[in-house]
Amino acid sequence: MRLRQSVHFFLLGMFVGLSLSGLIYWGFNSIWYGNHLTGHLGRTDVASVSPWLAPIVWEGTFDATLIDSLCKQQNITIATTLFALGKYTRFLKDFLESAEEHYFVGFRVHYYLFTDQPEEVPNVKLGQERYLTVKKVPSLNRWQDISMGRMEILEKLIENELANEADYIFCLDVDTKFYGRWGVETLGRLVGVIHPWFFNVPRFIFTYEHRRKSQAYIPAGEGDYYYTAAAFGGSLKDVYKLTKTCREQMNIDAANSIEAIWHEESHLNKYFFYNKPSKLLSPEYLWRDISMSAGQVKIIRFSHVAKNNAEVRPNL
């Protein structure tokens, strides 16, 4: 009898003791470290910070509700530029409808759409505090010129019109569609998006311009990431400097009869090599095509749509 009682007391003591130490340990952790250091945010399968300490935004690295409420207090406007010339007007409806569903929902967005056919712009119902300005531009007969020409048009738009109209700007390809949240987690001084074909390959595969004659030249063995030109952004001041520099460098190339291998994308990569982005977006923010499998990309937020280049472009 005595023995049984002592065993019971012993077990009870053990239970109480262990529970108390657990409680103390938990309390100590949450009081001294908070749950942001010991909690669940962060990824172990991908880098979420660059070597110059710029965040790389992946699903699982931010608290959407928290950053939404922080940014709500700031009354910000995000200018968003789009180009739809020639047959690319066919992409506008899906782009705009999906953007209204997923892109900076609840924030003020002003789309600036450049097209050679304003009459082809679909009538998409925009939400509250969402605006669309259509601007007519001349048609061009080389897709490379349309794509590269965006830099100068963006430079002039920021210079002449945006100063008191917006805080941030994003410049996006139109042959794309949103499938998931693209929100205030993407805002920063200078923002680059990691190209969806080059996030998991060694640097020698990156398709930088390697000819010395071009202003976009990056020496072999150099460079940090390979960025897409289909999406980039940041503060007005920083994107202004980026677009102006790329436009100037492309003009020098033209005068020297050379066109960089991937057009303005090569110049953008050169720019980002010497002017590091303050924030990088993972390929969740520009995927290849929604139907392709995604590896570390757990959420496809924005993606190129499949298109037949020979059919939609004015030249090959």
* Closest separation in Å from C-beta 217 to ligand UDP: 21
| Residue 280 interacts with which of Mn ion, ligand GAL, ligand UDP, none, CB < 5 to 8 Å by class | none
Q: Which residue is nearest to ligand GAL (CB)?
A: 207
Structure tokens at 214: 């071009």
Interface of this chain with ligand UDP, residues 73 to 92, rule: CB under 6 A: 83-86, 88
Is 100 a residue that touches Mn ion (CB under 5 A)? Answer: no
The answer to the question of whether 179 is labelled as a binding residue is no
What is the distance between the alpha carbons of residues 80 and 24, in angstroms, rounded to a whole number? 51
Look at phi and psi of residue 265 and say left if phi exceeds 0, alpha if psi is from -120 to 50, else beta: alpha
Interface of this chain with ligand GAL, residues 252 to 271, rule: CB under 6 A: 262, 265
| Catalytic pick among 100, 155, 185, 265 | 265
Displacement of CA 237 from its chain's centroid (Å):
18
* Angle in degrees, 0-180, between the axes of helices 236-255 and 264-274, rounded to the nearest 10: 120
Q: Which residue is nearest to ligand UDP (CB)?
A: 173
Site string for ligand UDP, 229-248 (x = CB under 6 A): -x------------------
**Range list of H helices, the chain:** 2-32, 34-38, 64-72, 92-102, 143-157, 236-255, 264-274, 309-312
The answer to the question of whether 173 is labelled as a binding residue is yes
Beta-strand pair 56-57/302-304? unpaired
**Among 95, 103, 143, 225, which residue sits at the site for ligand UDP (rule: CB under 6 A)?**
143
Look at phi and psi of residue 42 and say left if phi exceeds 0, alpha if psi is from -120 to 50, else beta: left
The answer to the question of whether 133 is labelled as a binding residue is no
Beta-strand pair 176-178/168-172? unpaired
Is 264 a residue that touches Mn ion (CB under 5 A)? Answer: no
175 and 91 Cβ atoms separated by less than 8 Å: yes
For the question of residue 209 being annotated catalytic, the response is no
**Among 59, 100, 155, 173, which residue sits at the site for Mn ion (rule: CB under 5 A)?**
173
Question: Toward ligand GAL, which CB reaches closer, 185 or 259?
Answer: 259
Which segment (98-106, 116-124, 175-183, 232-240) binds Mn ion by CB under 5 A? 175-183
What is the distance between the alpha carbons of residues 124 and 122, in angstroms, rounded to a whole number? 6
Helices (H) and strands (E) in the chain — how many of each? 8, 10
* Closest separation in Å from C-beta 286 to ligand GAL: 10
* Closest separation in Å from C-beta 86 to ligand UDP: 4
Cβ neighbours of residue 15 closer than 8 Å, sequence gap 6 or more: none
Is 207 a residue that touches ligand GAL (CB under 6 A)? Answer: yes
| Residue 185 interacts with which of Mn ion, ligand GAL, ligand UDP, none, CB < 5 to 8 Å by class | none
What is the distance between the alpha carbons of residues 86 and 313, in angstroms, rounded to a whole number? 8
Is 175 a residue that touches Mn ion (CB under 5 A)? Answer: yes
194 and 282 Cβ atoms separated by less than 8 Å: yes
Question: Toward ligand UDP, which CB reaches closer, 143 or 225?
Answer: 143
**Among 48, 80, 98, 147, which residue sits at the site for ligand UDP (rule: CB under 6 A)?**
147
Structure tokens at 268: 């953008």
Contacts with Mn ion, residue ranges (CB under 5 A):
173, 175
Which residues are catalytic, by number? 265
Binding-site members are 88, 173-175, 195, 207, 265
Contacts with ligand GAL, residue ranges (CB under 6 A):
195, 197, 207, 228, 262, 265
Contacts with ligand UDP, residue ranges (CB under 6 A):
83-86, 88, 143, 146-147, 173-175, 230, 313-314
